[in-house]
Amino acid sequence: MRTLDSLGPLGSKTVIVRCDLNVPLATDASGAKTITDDGRIRASLTTIRELRDAGARIVPISHLGRPDGAPDERYSLRPVAERMAELLGAEVGFVDETVGEAATAAVAALEDGDVVLLENLRFNPGETSKDDAERRGFAAALAELGDAFVSDGFGVVHRKQASVYDLAQLLPSAAGRLVAAELEVLERLTEKAERPYAVVLGGSKVSDKLGVIAHLIERVDTLLIGGGMVFTFLAAQGHAVGSSLLEKDQLDTVRGYLRTASERGVTIVLPTDIVVAAGFAADAAHEVVPANAIETSSFGATGLGLDIGPESAAAFAKVIAESKTVFWNGPMGVFEMAAFAEGTRTVARALTETEGFTVVGGGDSAAAVRALGFADDAFGHISTGGGASLEYLEGKSLPGLEVLA
């Protein structure tokens, strides 16, 4: 894979940097937007700082949310430009279009070391188009703005999109420091993992993790299953799960995983207790019951599981403590609600305390550890791309990396 060094001296050159600045935003009563987790902005700064130090003229580009190919103020990157300037300690210009006269003029006015962020790429339908010509056309318009392209948005390298795939073919291109670091971690997980190797999977649905479970079950020592997906596993074992999230169409698949794990000597650890609630609400009445007897709670068949129980959390923590490599993707429960956050908190704390190499696999997991007060540097690595990480671990080829080979 081509790295930043392959581009040669970049002084006075205009470098387009594909970042992943898709950060969560909260809007208050006045309409003002606040970034609730700036982790992805921080992660983009290593490459941007290096380019500034080299005297390049930098044009970060990114998407935010899913605006469906048209301008939508709810998804503007303007708050990101403001936060990036604060973190960078330097002015960051902002252009409220992706390509066009204003963007061309703003880029032309850059001096060495200057930074200007363009508006949300997904405001242009060409960014995500399935039509190769339309996508290529948008990429060509972006390419007119720069002399070189740096791919540093790891969270999108699994997407065949204009700013990820096509643009890399139109300009001298290379991976940025973030993408290179993410790839190094993933290679360590797949090719050089020290054992015992444990993978902790959570999140809502088994169907979101089918590929990664199938791929990892041949490569790890232990799979720990939490989150909403656990109820499909419990149901596959014949247990009633009340009103908990259940994917009935995945029951046979899960039974197959359980058989394969048994045949290969891989341990699948399921919760032994569950926090069951009367409803999906922060203030819902709740209690802890055995995982194989969910409908014995006070709420009967209407109760729904929203977190793994304390006994399970302690068991998961013990496995993590005894492992040399741990990959975690997906919260253990509805961590956004305090009453159902303890399972996720316990797993996160265990990852910070083990002496093994720990990787938090982006997405909701990364948001959870920050929301629960854990520092990024308490973990071996926090990925900026949950979907990209999972697809890599599934053994899939990623278009945004292939194009940089």
Q: Which residue has the tokens 């590929």?
A: 211
122 in a known ligand binding site? yes
Among 18, 40, 52, 136, the one annotated catalytic? 40
Q: What is the C-alpha to C-alpha distance for residues 1 and 225, in angstroms, rounded to an integer?
A: 34
CB neighbour list of residue 128: distance below 8 Å, 6 or more residues apart: 69, 122, 135, 159, 161, 162
The pLDDT confidence band at residue 204, using thresholds 50, 70 and 90, is confident
pTM: 0.89
Among 2, 33, 42, 205, the one annotated catalytic? 205
Closest CA to 345 of 328, 312, 369: 369
What's the pLDDT score for residue 256? Answer: 95
323 in a known ligand binding site? no
349 in a known ligand binding site? no
What's the pLDDT score for residue 395? Answer: 86
365 in a known ligand binding site? yes
Report the SS3 class of residue 276: strand
Handedness of CA 26, 28, 31, 35 (dihedral sign): negative
- Concerning whether 40 is annotated as a catalytic residue, the answer is yes
63 in a known ligand binding site? yes
66 in a known ligand binding site? yes
Q: Which residue has the tokens 């209690």?
A: 287
Mean pLDDT of the residues in the chain: 95
What's the pLDDT score for residue 14? Answer: 98
Q: What is the C-alpha to C-alpha distance for residues 71 and 63, in angstroms, rounded to an integer?
A: 12
User: Strand pairing partners for 225?
Assistant: 201
What's the pLDDT score for residue 62? Answer: 98
List pLDDT tens digits, range 171-196: 999 999 999 999 999 999 988 899 99
Among 33, 42, 387, 396, the one annotated catalytic? 387
The pLDDT confidence band at residue 206, using thresholds 50, 70 and 90, is confident
Handedness of CA 169, 171, 172, 175 (dihedral sign): negative
List pLDDT tens digits, range 270-283: 999 999 999 999 99
Residue 162 has pLDDT above 80, yes or no: yes
- Concerning whether 205 is annotated as a catalytic residue, the answer is yes
Query: Stretch 294-299: mean pLDDT, rounded?
Result: 96
What's the pLDDT score for residue 205? Answer: 83
The pLDDT confidence band at residue 27, using thresholds 50, 70 and 90, is confident
Among 363, 380, 385, 386, the one annotated catalytic? 363
Query: Stretch 76-90: mean pLDDT, rounded?
Result: 98
Compute CA 94 distance to the chain's CA centroid, rounded to the nearest angstrom: 25
